[in-house]
């Protein structure tokens, strides 16, 4: 723990006087910001890799397929299969 | 959060709290660190900036900086030293920007013209036993860099080497600066209150 053995002198007396004037609303603001930061970092952690993967597939295509391909014949309705 | 949980959190060391926060991103761990140091950081900002509103904003900004850089904290120094170094540097930068004051130490301003070799050492007791209302006045007139050095030495009990690390100066430069800051403080005291015996 910090300052467990803080010396007692004119400087520390001034500091103690100021410490008591710490506005409590700072903690509220900060807690909100820490909460937002935590949520944001979790979102990035969860969805970041997937989002990057989707973006890379969108730009470069699926890694297992070599460029655009037509649909397989069995996926097509019978009336679209060439005689 | 239940009171028992808060009590338990307060028993963790700083390093444990940091590790727990980084692992879980649970805001309670950071809030515990905040509660431990906010008062001291605010007091330092208040002394350095001499303005309650600015000190409040600075405290908030400093803790955001601490939060964003928490993963970079290495245990080369204690957490308190790390937080205080962010605090002093933040305040010094703020004063530089606001007052457009690029140089902030006594020797930079050039008000001390005497060679330091001619200076007698001002005993620590002169400052430490000063009436605190008077010391507060004296600090108002000191350049921010000198003020920071005195606070680090007499409040945070930091070594000359640590002060040098925080302010990015050599140990000999800090020793010289400390001596000049004490002389400057004594001179300001005499200007404000005469050379009457200090209580």
What does the alpha-carbon distance between residue B69 and residue B176 come to, in Å, rounded to a whole number? Answer: 32
Decide if A41 touches B, using CB distance below 8 A.
yes
Q: At what angle do helices B144-154 and A10-19 cross, to 10 degrees?
A: 100
Span of A6-20, A47-61, B164-178, B182-196 with lowest mean pLDDT: A47-61
Contact check, Cβ <8 Å, A14/B132? yes
Q: Assign A2 a pLDDT band (cuts: 50, 70, 90).
A: very low
B43 contacts B88 by C-beta, under 8 angstroms? no
What angle (nearest 5°) sits at the alpha carbon of residue B132, between those of residues B169 and B187?
Answer: 60
What does the alpha-carbon distance between residue B99 and residue B63 come to, in Å, rounded to a whole number? Answer: 23
What does the alpha-carbon distance between residue B61 and residue B103 come to, in Å, rounded to a whole number? Answer: 23
Tell me phi and psi for residue B105, to 5 degrees: -105, 160
Average pLDDT rounded to a whole number, residues B167-175:
90
Please name the residue of chain B whose CA is at the shortest distance from the CA of residue A32. B27
Please name the residue of chain B whose CA is at the shortest distance from the CA of residue A15. B43
Task: Give how far Cα B188 sits from Cα of A26, B140, B195, Å.
Answer: 34, 10, 10
Cross-chain CB nearest to A38 (options B25, B34, B80): B25
- Segment B51-92, tens digit of pLDDT: 899 999 999 999 999 999 998 898 788 899 999 999 999 999
Contact check, Cβ <8 Å, B56/A26? yes
Stated as kind and residue range, the H or E segment containing B91 is helix B79-99
Cross-chain CB nearest to B27 (options A11, A29, A34): A34
Decide if A7 touches B, using CB distance below 8 A.
yes
- Segment B127-163, tens digit of pLDDT: 888 888 888 889 888 888 899 999 999 988 888 998 9
Decide if A12 touches B, using CB distance below 8 A.
yes
Nearest Cα of chain B lies from the Cα of A30 at a distance, in angstroms, of 7
Average pLDDT rounded to a whole number, residues B8-33:
89
pLDDT at B9: 82
Residue B120 confidence (pLDDT) above 80: no
Cross-chain CB nearest to B39 (options A7, A22, A37): A22
| CA-atom Rg of chain B in angstroms | 19
Residues in chain A with CB shorter than 8 Å from the CB of B46 are 18, 21
pTM: 0.75
Q: Assign B113 a pLDDT band (cuts: 50, 70, 90).
A: very low
Cross-chain CB nearest to A15 (options B36, B130, B155): B155
Nearest Cα of chain B lies from the Cα of A44 at a distance, in angstroms, of 13
Look up residue B164 and give its two tokens. 């040098």
Helices (H) and strands (E) in chain A, counts: 2, 0
């Amino acid at each position: 723990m910090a300052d467990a053995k803080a010396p007692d002198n004119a400087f520390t007396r001034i500091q103690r006087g100021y410490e008591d004037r710490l506005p409590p609303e700072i903690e509220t603001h900060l807690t909100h910001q820490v909460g937002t930061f935590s949520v944001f970092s979790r979102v990035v952690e969860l969805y970041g890799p997937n989002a990057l993967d989707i973006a890379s597939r969108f730009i470069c295509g699926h890694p297992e397929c070599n460029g655009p391909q037509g649909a397989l014949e069995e996926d097509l309705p019978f009336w679209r299969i060439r005689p | 959060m239940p009171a028992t949980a808060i009590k338990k959190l307060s028993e963790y060391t700083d390093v444990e709290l940091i590790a727990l926060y980084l692992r879980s991103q649970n805001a309670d761990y950071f809030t515990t660190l905040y509660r431990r140091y906010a008062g001291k950081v605010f007091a330092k900002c208040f002394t350095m900036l001499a303005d309650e509103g600015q000190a409040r904003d600075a405290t908030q900004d400093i803790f955001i900086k601490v939060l964003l850089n928490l993963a970079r904290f290495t245990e080369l120094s204690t957490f308190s030293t790390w937080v205080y170094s962010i605090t002093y540097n933040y305040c010094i930068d703020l004063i530089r920007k606001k007052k457009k004051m690029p140089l902030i130490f006594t020797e930079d301003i050039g008000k001390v013209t005497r060679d330091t070799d001619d200076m007698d050492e001002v005993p620590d007791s002169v400052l430490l036993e000063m009436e605190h209302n008077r010391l507060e006045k004296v600090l108002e007139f000191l350049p921010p860099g000198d003020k920071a050095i005195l606070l680090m030495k007499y409040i945070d009990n930091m070594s000359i080497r640590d002060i040098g690390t925080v302010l990015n100066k050599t140990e000999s430069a800090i020793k010289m600066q400390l001596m000049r800051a004490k002389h400057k403080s004594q001179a300001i005291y005499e200007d404000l209150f005469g050379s009457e015996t200090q209580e």
